[in-house]
Structure 1
Amino acid sequence: MKVSLFLSPCRMNARCSLLKLRRKLIPSLLSLLTLCVLLLITVKYSSITESLPPPVDIQTFQKYNVNCKAIYDMDPVEVGKSLITRTNQLVEDTDESLSTATSNCPMFMKTRGYDDVCVSEEEKDFPIAYSLVVHKSAWMLERLLKAIYSPNNIYCIHYDEKSSAQFTSAMKGLAGCMPNVFIATKREVVFYGDITRLKADLNCLSDLLRSEVQWKYVINLCGQDFPLRTNIELVSELKKLNGAHMLETCQPTKSKKKRFTFHHELRDNSEFGKWQEATKQRKTPPPHGIQMFTGSAYFVLSRHFVVYLNSSAVVRDLLDWSEDTFSPDEHFWATLVRIPGVPGEVPRSQGDITDLMSKTRLVKWEYLEGKVYPPCTGEHVRSVCVFGAAEMRWLLSYGHWFANKFDPKVDPVAIQCLEEELEERQRFFRKAAISSCPKH
């Protein structure tokens, strides 16, 4: 029987129909399979994203639409605009928003540029320590920190134990985001004119000495200070000191002698709350025959001097003796640097080093305006000028390293424009120091 090599017409039509059906079904099945896979991935991804914390919206401080270059050049139109801005457009930056921002450290560091600070070799070889004694305005402190920040420096924050819970939370948030920023291990309830203000700095100095960072100099600041020099400029200036200090130290006036001649007690005051008030009881003379000098609460001190402070019985005795004096931080440092033989000694025979001679801090006193320096363009608080934007050029050209006071509630434009100017200077000086900016 012969088998035909050809199919019958009936069988051929069935085979063709089957082939056509297969061609239609296969793409449909593939599409269905693809859809199932995509659906599975979507469901799985959704379950993952639902388990992740929601992204935090980084709300920083208010920025204002001003031309800082024109303000620096004292353009009358732009200076006038800054006055209008501070009168009509002020927005209060809340402590809570900084707490929220620092709850997402990677985003906060990136948004504020802490993760992208380049450091010259000169800066790496010369770390600086800071004692920051603060009690309010969290964003102002953060902006100060950002302006002086370098990853090789070390920063101690001492917040007043009376500070609000929101402020305290914001400070802890800052310290939690940066390994070289920490909260003082011992904190004081600080009162005006009391030794607790001095102890706040001493607590930070003690912590800073225990740090692994081998800093060369320590600078203390408060929450209303702001730098007038960049970190790389400060390093250059500190090197020139060659172990000496930068602080105010003068022979005491008759009125200032009363601060440590009579016993003072912490009492209630209508203006300041609790503060040190003089009694008629005279104090014993200073211990060890120490000759007293007066100055400022603010200093630039060498590491060698701070090590000496930490181990000296004379220093401890002077501190104990100062417990019942008024504003001991304004005679303690000024006196210690005059003691013969201390590291970086300022000889007693040397004349007064006034606040205008010391580059540590530039303060504009109301009673000297028009005589020593131009009038305040901001506001006065207890005879001290809270700077306005129109003073930016004068501030940056006077020669000091830091200035006090600034307040975003008085003139936020002054702070914003100083930030811009310092960022520009930082780029310029680092570019001059290094051909390429290495990552830290």
Structure 2
Amino acid sequence: MEKLSEEFYRSTTKDCKAYKDKRSFIAAPLSAEERDFPIAYSMAIHGDVEMFERLLRAVYHPQNVYCVHMDQKSAEGFQKAVMVIVSCFPNVFVASKLERVSWGTWSLAQAHLNCMDDLLKSPVEWKYLLNTCGSDLPIKTNAEMEMKLLNGQNSLESEDVPDGKKVRWQYHHEVNTDNNYINTFARTGIRKTPPPIPVFSGSSYFVVTREFVKHMLENKDAQNFMEWITVFHEEHLWASLNRLSSVPAHSKYHRSDMTAIARLQHWGGHEGDVPAAYPPYMLTLRRDVCVYGSGDLHWLFQPWHHQLMANKFDPQVDDIAIRCVKAILSFKVLNGSQFDPH
């Protein structure tokens, strides 16, 4: 099918009610349990308005709240299209401060921190916060995101730092951000001071409580750590601050990306027949992560996957896979039952 243009969204959102009806946005809480357990989203996007709207439609519920961070250097037409979509929803807003985002630098962490600050000011008393990027889609319905079962704990990857990654924070780095999306990191010979808190390794994705967000933005040790860290911030920031706030720095509390519920990613180099971590990927890898295609959906929707979201999707690689995910989620919402991937 033809890709929806930025002009399409600027035109159709002139009548917000008709737009939301036509695009099948959920108009009311689907249960008392969901109504009474609102969720917050921090959504970092940079260039594909149709993919953004697909993600928003897939996770949208009127009791939740959504902060959208647009890369400050994204095209003007894209930004205007996002703004008109957001304007149709009282619980969706653009972050009050936008960053020029470059991969691997502090800017992406700051984008989510900006949203965290805005979300704490929202009148919605959300319980948990999830962060997303433009290539994510949910693989659980809102009702299936049973964060109550976390019992006030966070869920994110947090493990000891592999030796090969320790140089990221043992030495100062010079960072070239001239290119829009690719950065050059040059390690200097200058050693950094010791970290102010124990450093752990993790991913960019998290499911965290409101209390954690508030603590992180106010705690002096957390602020000192944010000023100290150098590059690939998100792969150490959330994992380290999670231990600071609630969990002792002990191997007993390690959590891998496969046991955390934040994101299901299919990493290259770990696929194959059982007992490999992942089955063979169907299409292509990007930054060593599988871009899901239609052939991966059977694996994605297996009942043993407890993750809430999956990454990566790209309509230029397989648009049918994205449409199928939406159809599966709609089936589960409408039928109130599990989807059988067989």
Tell me the TM-score range normalised by the shorter chain.
over 0.9
Match of 1:292 in 2: 199
Deviation at 1:232, TM superposition (A): 0.7
How far did 1:416 drift?
A: 0.5
* Matched residues, number: 333
- The answer to whether residue 107 in structure 2 is matched with residue 107 in structure 1 is no
Q: Out of 51, 54, 67, which is 1:156 matched to?
A: 67
Structure 1 residues 96-138: Cα deviation after superposition (integer angstroms, max 9, x where no partner):
3223322331221110122644420000110000000110111
Within the candidate set 289, 306, 310, 1:384 is matched to 289
Post-superposition Cα deviations, 1:319-374, rounded to whole Å, max 9, x if no partner, equal 1112xx121111011001112xx2x4355342431111112111111111112111
Which residues of 2 match residues 364-375 of structure 1 at below 5 A?
Answer: 364-370=266-272, 371-375=276-280
Deviates more, 1:122-131 or 1:356-365: 356-365
Q: CA deviation at 1:418?
A: 0.8
Q: Which amino acid aligns with 1:285?
A: P
1:159-178 alignment to 2 at 5 Å?
159-178=70-89
Normalising by structure 1, we get a TM-score of 0.73
State the Cα distance separating 1:428 from its structure 2 match. Answer: 2.6
Matched, 1:363 2:265: yes
Instruction: Tell me whether 1:93 sits opposite 2:4 in the alignment.
Output: yes
For structure 1, the residue ranges without an aligned partner over 5 or more in a row are 1-61, 63-90, 432-440
Rounded to whole Å, the distance in 1 between the matches of 2:97 and 2:262 is 26
Greater shift in the superposed pair: 304-313 or 269-278 = 269-278
Is the partner of 1:417 in helix, strand or coil? helix
Partner of 2:241: 336
Q: How far did 1:269 drift?
A: 7.3
Residues 331 and 115 (structure 1 numbering): CA distance in 2 closer, same or farther, change over 3 Å? closer
- For the 8 Å contact 1:250–1:293, the answer to whether it is kept is yes
Residue equivalent to 1:129: 40
Q: In terms of Rg, which structure is larger?
A: 1
Give the conservation status (yes or no) of the 8 Å contact 1:184–1:207: yes
Query: Do the aligned partners of 1:192 and 1:276 also contact (CA within 8 Å) in 2?
Result: no
> Take 2:82 and 2:180, find their aligned partners in 1: how far apart are those partners?
27
- Note if 1:248 corresponds to 2:150: no
Deviation at 1:279, TM superposition (A): 1.9
Could you tell me how far 1:167 is from its partner in structure 2? 1.1
Conserved 8 A contact 2:47-2:78 = yes
What residue is the counterpart of 2:130 in the other structure? 219
Q: 1:168 to 1:270 in 2, by over 3 A?
A: closer
Go from structure 1 to structure 2 and tell me whether the alpha carbon gap of 1:402 and 1:285 turns closer, same or farther (over 3 Å shift).
same
Query: What is the deviation of 1:276?
Result: 3.7
CA distance in 1, matches of 2:314, 2:18: 27
Q: CA-atom RMSD, angstroms?
A: 1.8
Whole-Å Cα distance in 2 between the matches of residues 220 and 199 of structure 1? 12
Give secondary structure in 2 for the equivalent of 1:278: strand
Over the matched positions of the two proteins, sequence identity in percent amounts to: 39
Q: Aligned equivalents of 1:275 and 1:208: distance in 2?
A: 32
- Name whichever structure is richer in helix by fraction: 1
Q: Residue type of the partner of 1:114?
A: F
